[in-house]
Amino acid sequence: MGIEFKNVSKTFGGTCVVDDLSLKIDDGEFIVLLGPSGCGKTTTLRMLAGLESVTSGDILIDGERVNDIPTQHRDLAMVFQSYALYPHMTIAENIGYPLRVRKLDKTERTARVKRVAAMLEIESLLDRKPRQLSGGERQRVALARAIVREPRAYLMDEPLSNLDARLRVQMRGELKRLQHQLKTTTIYVTHDQAEAMTLASRVAVMKKARLQQFDAPMNIYNHPANLFVAEFVGSPSMNFIEGSPLTVGIRPEHIQVLSQPQDGAIAAKVYVTEQMGNETFVFLTVGSNRLIARAPADFRAEDESQVWITINKDKIHSFDPVSGDKVTTDNTDFILR
């Protein structure tokens, strides 16, 4: 099912929270709306669901304008940050509730609940109540309740934010597998760039109500459209150095730290190191600049010790310091001072 936002804006009390959004989502895509709190991503999702009205512009589902179509007639399933399970119902009853509302035959209802429960590996939980489940199990139930409807699209608003780090990683994998299996259009809201990079077929990066870039995750990482995208996507963040007419950026993995000088290397001092297990982050002072480099896991250096760095100039990004827009230039010379 294709979805399109055409010059969509939303204003609350004179404040524009979504500004002239145009976005075309193809059938079966997993789209992530990524950005910091207050950028308009959740409002965008709620307008698509029909939970918020559109101030101007049009939202189309399969080519049909849906601005004035009530939520219940849009055939979209939502999964929220809160699981919103009915405490007095069993898990089977919670999952099957949307089918019961539709007055589906009990035999068909039971069969679909069992099928979806098997898909999410929660068959053993069907007779329990929500209070007997862990956070990860409740999230699976919330997903099962959305999937069982077999809607035209899934809308997910930070569904993993209540889970601990281990469960988030596990559920990301489950979501990706499920979406690949179901092939249903999915729009997913998050501020977590790791979720965006691992889940999305394309990412829409938003800032202060406006779309900044819409592209495949690795294209956004390797070719950010502006300073904000370059800084927001990537962990650790891209390093920025103020040149004379340009701001230049270089990712930590494109800086090599050396214990001995070599031709073309730049002197630096180690500010601090962070051992991450599989790699080491090296925080460096180079003149008046502070940079972060990725180094191998076995890298060791004392604070304030002398090192040297080389920078892969083919990986340098140049930005207009005023507008923040990406600048294409062959001149990659810049001064570390």
Same domain as 213, residue 68: yes
Q: Is the pLDDT of residue 331 over 70?
A: no
User: Cα–Cα distance between 129 and 44 in angstroms, integer?
Assistant: 33
pLDDT given at position 243: 77
Residues 305 and 159 in one domain: no
C-alpha dihedral, 298 to 299 to 304 to 306, nearest 10°: 140
Give mean pLDDT, residues 91-96. Answer: 95
pTM for this model (two decimals): 0.91
pLDDT at position 275, please?
95
* Model pLDDT for residues 108-160, shown as the tens digit of each residue: 999 999 999 998 889 999 999 999 998 889 988 998 999 998 899 999 999 88
Tell me how far apart the alpha carbons of residues 14 and 155 are, in angstroms, rounded to a whole number. Answer: 27
* Tokens standing for residue 80: 């929220």
284 shares a domain with 214: no
What's the average model confidence in pLDDT over 241-246? 86
Same domain, 141 and 252: no
- Whether 292 and 242 map to the same domain: the answer is yes
CB contact at 8 A, 6 and 57:
yes
Q: Return the CATH number at 249.
A: 2.40.50.140
Q: What integer pLDDT is reported at residue 337 of this predicted model?
A: 55
Tally of domains in the chain: 2
Please report the beta strands in 243-288, taking only residues with DSSP state E, as ranges in sequence order: 247-250, 255-258, 266-275, 279-286
Task: Evaluate whether residue 131 is within a structural domain.
Answer: yes
Domain that holds residue 143: 3-222
Could you tell me if residue 334 is inside a domain?
A: no
Is there a single domain that holds both residue 141 and residue 12?
yes
pLDDT at 314 over 80: yes
- Helix 135-147 with 165-182: angle, nearest 10 deg: 20
Last residue in a domain, options 167, 198, 222: 222
Same domain assignment for residues 183 and 321: no
Same domain, 185 and 291: no
For all residues of the chain together, what is the average pLDDT?
A: 93
Tell me the CATH number at 12. Answer: 3.40.50.300
Confidence of residue 88 (pLDDT cuts 50, 70, 90): very high
Of 165, 198, 222, the residue at which a domain comes to its end is 222
How far is 80 from 156, CA to CA, in rounded Å?
6
pLDDT over 90 at 307, yes or no:
yes
Same domain? For 146 and 32 the reply is yes
Model confidence at 34: pLDDT above 80:
yes
- Confirm whether 336 is domain-assigned: no
pLDDT digits (tens, 9 = 90+) for 207-236: 999 999 999 999 999 999 999 999 999 999
- Same domain for 182 and 52? yes
Output the DSSP codes for 191-202.
Answer: S-HHHHHHH-SE
DSSP type of residue 329: -
Q: What percent of the chain has pLDDT over 70?
A: 98
Residue 26 pLDDT grade (very low, low, confident, very high; cuts 50, 70, 90)? very high
pLDDT band at 330 (very low <50, low <70, confident <90, very high): low
Residue 247 has a CB neighbour count (10 Å cut-off) of: 19
Instruction: Give the model confidence (pLDDT) of 255-288 as tens digits.
Output: 999 999 999 899 999 999 999 999 999 999 998 8
Determine the pLDDT at residue 328: 85
Same domain for 48 and 20 = yes
Q: Is residue 292 part of a domain?
A: yes
- Asked, for residue 170, whether it belongs to a domain, the answer is yes
Q: Is residue 332 part of a domain?
A: no
Residue 233 belongs to a domain: no
Exposure on the CB side of residue 187, measured as CA atoms within 13 A = 30
**Element housing 34 (H / E):** strand 30-34
41 and 156 share a domain? yes
Q: Which tens digit of pLDDT belongs to each residue from 165-213?
A: 888 888 888 889 889 888 999 999 999 999 999 999 999 999 999 999 9
Residue where one domain finishes, among candidates 222, 254, 287: 222
Token pair in block for residue 145: 């309740």
Q: Is residue 230 part of a domain?
A: no
For 19-28, 83-92, 267-276, which range has the lowest pLDDT when averaged over its residues?
A: 83-92
